Copies of this chain bind each other. A is one copy, B any other.
Amino acid sequence: MENMTLAYYAAGAGAIALLFALFTMSQVLKESMGTPKMKQLSEAVQEGAMAYMNRQYKTLAPFAIVIFVLLWAAQYFVHQAPGSHLPVGPASAISFLVGAVCSAIAGYIGMNSTTKSNARTAEAARSSGLGKALQVSFRAGAVMGLSVAGLGLLGVSVLFIIFQSPLIINSFAFGASVIAFFARVGGGIYTKAADVGADLVGKVEAGIPEDDPRNPATIADNVGDNVGDTAGMGADLFESYGATTIAAMLIGNTLFGFPGVIFPLLVGAVGIISAIIGTFTVRTSEGGNPQAALNVGLWSTNVLTAVGTFFVAKAVFPSEAHVIINGQDTGVAFENVYMGIFLAVMAGLIVNVLVGYLTEHYTAAGKGPVNRIAEASKTGPATNVIHGLAVGMESVFFPMLTFAAAIFISYWAVSAFAPEGQSLLWSIYGIAMAAMGMLSTAGMVVAMDSFGPVADNAGGIAEMAELPKEVREKTDKLDAVGNTTAAIAKGFAIGSAALTALALFSAYVDGVKHKFAAVLPNGEFVVNLTEPIVLVGVFIGGAIPFLIGASTMRAVGEAAFGMVEEVRRQFREIPGIMEGTGKPDYARCVDIATRSAIAKMIFPGVVAVSVPILVGFLLGAKALAGFLGGLTTVGVLMALFLANAGGAWDNAKKYIEGGAYGGKKSEPHKAAVIGDTVGDPCKDTSGPAMNPLIKVAGTISLILGPLLLKL
């Protein structure tokens, strides 16, 4: 079975997904953009989004080049044992660059697709109806989803075909990580600075509705939906995809040799083909339920992936094999290991569904938690905020139990079929497989997530272009569904980040083991929580998510402050702006959001990249392992807390706007608006920053492991 043809299959599946994405894009572009006004608005959003993307990547380029050079040059400073591979050198530097560039390309394709589809979706809702509007917006999302998964799979497969070693190409994940962290943080600051700025002055002070064309920050706000939700989420899942695949390949290589390396790529191929098929099942009629249509898409993808994975596992892994240690056949036999691996992948798929359900429970209007917040708004903003914080904290418990159960079950599944006296790596391999299972459907999940901002923007354009009320009602219906799919995608992003980080952690431990094999007792690298140096690492690692949370939240506060001042200035200085005769200076608001987002993403980025390096070199490999453990646990907790609290506040406000507790303009509504504003940076900036934070630490450590100087 050891033949590289299989890697070509995986690369082929990635290429097919990309081609399908381009074909879908061409279909979307055939649709009409509606009135000249709509076209003009859509182009303003597009321009703003592209301006941001260009500035972001221009800022990141020197940063990426420095890392590229360091990775290339590091080979001269590190001792390489004969016959061993090092995770640095030209091949690693190139892999890093490919990872970064692929992430950027996926971002551009996706952004291009979603920003070009907003007016088209509004027009479809106007001229044809709900079914067509869903089709256009979902197709736009599918372009993003399939680009992310397709480029991920293609990139890893091609690099593997060229360099033939998962150790060398793990810089691909590092490249994707660095871009993802900046995209998440920068995009998150942008979107919330614009949103909070637009809301505070527009809605609260001037009393004009959301998306009112008189608001100078309204275009920036719509741009923000794209750079935050679409580009940020896309980069995030691209990173999870790449990192998990490579971590699984690394561990698989140690355990099984070639079958272990190729299997993750094939699971990716199965998942992506399933996602393409799944997109065809998403369709609804005029009176239909768009949510149900999307659910059909997700479930068909899940089921097809599960079935496909079963057969691939059975084909790739020999039904009987011997344990090989350092190239020596030990004679110890084991059977049907594919069954355990398949079950672990299944555990990942099930976590998907459960975490999505839990996220919805804690953040959807009409359910207990959100209603509690809405009810607490009766006694004012303070009690609204207190109950929101409580819901956010409460919401972490069951997802954490679910992750714990996934770890336990995948470990148990693989162990059950593992040989007698198995090494620890066997049980860890289960976790990597669960992560693969979860991520194999990323194409579909990103598609569902990206469709939301398109619908949201379509509503904004309908409002600004003063289309009939029914159009906005249709896009609102899609937007409401988009909020649910966004919640599901957020749960997915957090869950996959958690499992990815654990897979990276395991791969790091494996790397350290090889590096220090000579000095380790029994050759095992044990990360013993009772050793003080490990505890030191855990304490430092645990504090980092709070530090990043603080700096991103403060960044939003400061950037929003700049935006508020600018909107107030325009209201004050531009004559006739409130009567609709004076034209607001949209471009200036877009520029302010862009500048402050770029400026303020630097500090968190430098912390995220440099602290693991400092811990590793100053305190050693054990401290770094503890650091990763503390960082991952606390990062996942904070991600859940912040995302769910923010989501719950948002929907409590919407619930009141729907008529509960006095409805719009009542005192409870004002309280709920304050809660929603507090939640904005939580759910869209600081919370989402946690996912790439824990992964970037993992991908750096993977490279550092074999270079560290002491245990």
C-alpha spacing A536/B400, complex, angstroms: 9
The answer on a CB contact under 8 Å between A557 and B677 is no
Closest to A200 in B: B379
Which of A13-21, A316-324, A548-556 is near enough to bind chain B?
A: A548-556
Given A542-B400, A633-B542, A393-B547 contact (CB < 8 Å):
yes
The answer on a CB contact under 8 Å between A550 and B393 is yes
In angstroms, how far is the closest chain B Cβ from the Cβ of A252?
17
Any chain B CB within 8 A of the CB of A390? yes
669-701 of chain A: CB within 8 A of chain B: 674, 677-678, 681-682
C-alpha spacing A86/B371, complex, angstroms: 50
Given A390-B557, A530-B424, A547-B397, A200-B540 contact (CB < 8 Å):
no
The answer on a CB contact under 8 Å between A551 and B394 is yes
This chain: how many copies in the complex?
2
Which secondary structure characterizes the binding site on chain A? helix
Tell me which residues across on chain B come within 8 A of A202, comparing CB atoms: none
Tell me which residues across on chain B come within 8 A of A430, comparing CB atoms: 532
In angstroms, how far is the closest chain B Cβ from the Cβ of A588?
19
Any chain B CB within 8 A of the CB of A401? yes
C-alpha spacing A634/B629, complex, angstroms: 12
Any chain B CB within 8 A of the CB of A24? no
Closest to A411 in B: B532
Which of A165-173, A502-510, A579-587 is near enough to bind chain B?
A: A502-510
Closest to A630 in B: B633
376-391 of chain A: CB within 8 A of chain B: 376, 379-383, 385-387, 389-391
In angstroms, how far is the closest chain B Cβ from the Cβ of A359?
15
The answer on a CB contact under 8 Å between A408 and B532 is yes
The answer on a CB contact under 8 Å between B546 and A394 is yes
The answer on a CB contact under 8 Å between B543 and A396 is yes
Any chain B CB within 8 A of the CB of A704? no
The answer on a CB contact under 8 Å between A546 and B396 is yes
Choose from B397, B547, B681 the contact partner of A386 (Cβ within 8 Å): B681
The answer on a CB contact under 8 Å between A381 and B383 is no
The answer on a CB contact under 8 Å between A394 and B550 is yes
Tell me which residues across on chain B come within 8 A of A204, comparing CB atoms: 380
Any chain B CB within 8 A of the CB of A106? no
Which of A40-48, A222-230, A521-529 is near enough to bind chain B?
A: A521-529
Tell me which residues across on chain B come within 8 A of A381, comparing CB atoms: 381, 674
Tell me which residues across on chain B come within 8 A of A408, comparing CB atoms: 532-533, 536
C-alpha spacing A624/B40, complex, angstroms: 61
The answer on a CB contact under 8 Å between A393 and B633 is no
* Most chain B beta-carbon contacts within 10 A, residue among A381, A387, A539: A539
The answer on a CB contact under 8 Å between A386 and B678 is yes
In angstroms, how far is the closest chain B Cβ from the Cβ of A153?
27
Any chain B CB within 8 A of the CB of A637? yes
Any chain B CB within 8 A of the CB of A451? no
Residue contacts A-B, CB under 8 angstroms, 27 given: A376-B557, A376-B561, A379-B560, A381-B674, A382-B677, A383-B677, A386-B556, A389-B682, A390-B557, A394-B550, A394-B554, A396-B543, A396-B546, A400-B539, A404-B539, A404-B540, A407-B539, A410-B532, A506-B530, A527-B528, A529-B625, A529-B629, A535-B629, A538-B629, A538-B633, A546-B637, A633-B634
Beyond A411-B533, A526-B526, A543-B637: 4 further Cβ-contacts under 8 Å?
A386-B681, A396-B546, A400-B539, A400-B542
